[in-house]
Structures are given as C-alpha cells and as structure tokens.
C-alpha cells in the first residue's frame, strides 16, 4: 500500500493481539471509525530490542518492546488507543502511524 495517499488521522482501539510465537510476528487488530462506519485493520506488530540480558559481561539475549510502546509510552494491549492514518477516499486503506518500521531505534 502506498502510505502517501493516507491523508487523514483518527484514533483506533486495539481489539485483539494474536501472538504467534518467537519465529512469527504477532498480529495486531485495531478497530477505528470513519464517517460513522467501523473498520478493522490488521498489521504485524513491530518489535524492537529494548534491554540486553547479560550473564556477567557476556550478552545472552534481549527483551523486546513494541514500537508503539517505544514511540508513545503506552503499551500495546487490548483496549488502548492508537493512531490510525487512513485514505479519505477509501477509509479501508489504512495503517498504524506508530507501528512504522522504517525508523531505526538503538
């Protein structure tokens, strides 16, 4: 989808998060309303490294946080609000504004 055509913003509510395990990305389902009509949006939940786990000075793993939580400070759990950007001509074309993986976080 071309994200440049999405020109309007609204708030959506996280309806469901499907965790598929470590090898597959989790899917977030968001419900949002445009012109008194309800829409649903499904996206992969982008996770980023948050904290390195060390055994002494040797790194052995890391903990992750969702990119939504890193950018907004609000955890991605069912019932929380997230920003949705949609196309004014076709509101079914939408994406989560704070779940964009093009930004590199260190």
| Domain coverage including residue 67 | 3-99
* Domain contains 105: no
Q: What is the pTM of this model?
A: 0.81
In a domain, 106, yes or no: no
- Which residues does 17 contact at the CB level (< 8 Å), separation at least 6? 26, 27, 28, 29, 45, 76, 77, 78
Range 52-75 average pLDDT? 91
State how far the Cα of 36 lies from the Cα of 40, in Å rounded to an integer: 13
Backbone angles phi, psi at 75, to 5 degrees: -65, 150
The pLDDT value recorded for residue 102 is 63
Within a domain: residue 89? Answer: yes
pLDDT for 105 equals 43
Across the beta sheet with 81-86, the strand order is 37-44, 27-34, 8-18, 81-86, 94-96
Does 36 fall in a domain? yes
Q: How many structural domains does the chain have?
A: 1
Given this model, what pLDDT does residue 8 score? 93
């Amino acid at each position: 989808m071309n994200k440049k055509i999405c020109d309007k913003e609204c708030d959506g509510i996280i309806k469901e998060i499907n965790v598929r395990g470590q090898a597959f990305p989790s899917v977030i389902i968001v419900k949002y309303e445009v012109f008194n009509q309800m829409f649903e949006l499904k996206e992969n939940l982008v996770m980023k490294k948050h904290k390195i786990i060390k055994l002494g000075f040797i790194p052995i793993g890391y903990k992750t946080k969702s990119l939504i939580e890193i950018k907004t400070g609000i955890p991605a759990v069912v019932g929380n609000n997230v920003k949705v950007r949609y196309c004014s001509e076709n509101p079914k074309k939408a994406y989560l504004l704070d779940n964009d993986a093009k930004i590199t976080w260190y």
